[in-house]
Structure 1
Amino acid sequence: MKLSNEAKVGLMITIGFTIFIILVGMLAKINIARTGYTLRVYFGFLNDLRQGAPVKIGGGIKIGYVSAISQSGEKTEVTLWVENKYKLIQSSKFAIFTSGLIGEKYVNIFIPPSAGAEEFFKDGDKINGLDPASFDQMMMTFQSFMQNESGGQVLAEIFQNSKKFVMNLNKITDDNRHDIRQTIMSAKDMVANLNFQSKIMMGHVNTLSKNLSDLSEKNKDDISITLRNLSEISTNLNKITFRIEKGRGTLGRLLNEEDIYNNLKDASLAAKDLFRELKQDPSKLLFRSQN
């Protein structure tokens, strides 16, 4: 079925109006799908809190928003809408905080540790909130303090002490101007000397490195030959040790055959006795040779 131009225009207007209503509902924080309850919190100072501002637990979890602000006697009534799934114990504290230094204002709920079974806030309960400290209030307090006689005296003493401190600092600087200048000059000389010595040291290190490099380059062949000779000597020593352990050669037999070793030992002892007798009486050698 074909739609006429009027029907098309009417359908587009209806769709646009529906979208507009939904957007207005979202911007106005009208909760269609969620259910919640309202709490009335009274503050003496709002610090520029606006309708629609978020309500958070511990400055983090958003649990609702400010649905209305109205004046009620000396206090300002702030109506909070809170989701049903968040139950707040009656010892909770309500205060107005700021996100960052100059950010958005929001209602912060501090829930203290529960001391036992406590009752929860119900829909429509009235609560006294904690008033935030503003910069204007602090300035008014400071101004009131300064207008007081004691405040002016304290400020005068602060300025007087500051003046004395600056004068003493200037006097110390003037009295020790020569020493300070000498210290600075000594420090400059020391730094210059260190730079000079470091340059000399680096020159020596570079020279030593170059000499070592030249020496190793010049004696590269000799070093190679020496290493090869040491390797051959090590190989020969291994062979000799192996032959001695196997009893090969004269030294090997002497070390490994016990009879030969004992005979050599006896002969050595006999020769030792003979030399001792000849030393004591050399004439024995002559008589023995005549016989």
Structure 2
Amino acid sequence: MKISKEVKTGVLVILGIILFIFGFNYLKGKNLLESTNVFYTEFNYNALSTSSPVTVKGNTVGKITNISYDFKTGKTRVAFFVDEELKFSKESVVRMYETGLMGGNGLAIIVSDEGELAKAGDLLKSEVEVGLVTSLSRNFSGLSSNLDSTLKSTDSLIKSLNKVVNDQSEKGLKRTVEQLNETLKSFEATSNSVNGLISKNNENITTTLESFKKTSQDLALLSTNLKDANIGKTIESLNITLTNLNSVLEKVDNGEGTLGKLLKEEGLYNNIEAATKEMEELIRDIKLHPARYRRILSKKEIPYEPEPSN
């Protein structure tokens, strides 16, 4: 089958148009062969490359396509594409992490199901995960600073000790040693005095300790006797007695019973007082006029003789 010149010319024209469109977009920075499912994120610095992978839970789902510096915000804008089958919300976070000791950095999408689904061209939130190398670098940096400070302090201490050791004056190390010897001698004298005092009063101390021991035994015996005496029951009985006494006093105060009526009812008191006065008058009349009661007291009159006054 022969192809005519017109068909060949048409095919060449179409291919030329396609190549022109592709080349024009390529010169503008667009690659028509790449995926259009592109998203963006921003970092404060750049530690990535266009070959860095984009992963989800450790699985590669895309890669970085472009890295540029935003002169307005001063941040690094990273463009990356992912497989079109991957669905995640705008609340998802893009995390920059270390892929290994020698593997550089990569991006991981922390997928979130909350919120609206992300669309191509959206700007996602970002964060940076401190990797092993960065952490070790920071730790060694702090350790180095602390070690340097410790060495400086040690050097200052050694210099001070050298000054003390090299000082041969009375204010130096010799004077300090002399004072230390004097202190030890004073302590030794005090110790000897205490030992002598204890030796002289050994008998008194022994007697005191024995007396204290006997007193402790007596206290223990007294405690045992009190325990055996069942003081609890005695106190309980005393409480019952006091309660009954309070009840009786309360009844007396309320005018109940003979004693209560005697204390509260004035009529009974007045009657008793009147009867007492009449009894006194009767006894006085018997003493003064015993003849009136001769028949009652005796058949023979017995005259009344008052008692002699003392």
User: TM-score, normalised on structure 2?
Assistant: 0.34
User: TM-score, normalised on structure 1?
Assistant: 0.35
**Radius of gyration: which is bigger?**
2
Q: Name which structure has the greater RCO, CA cutoff 8 Å, separation 6+.
A: 1
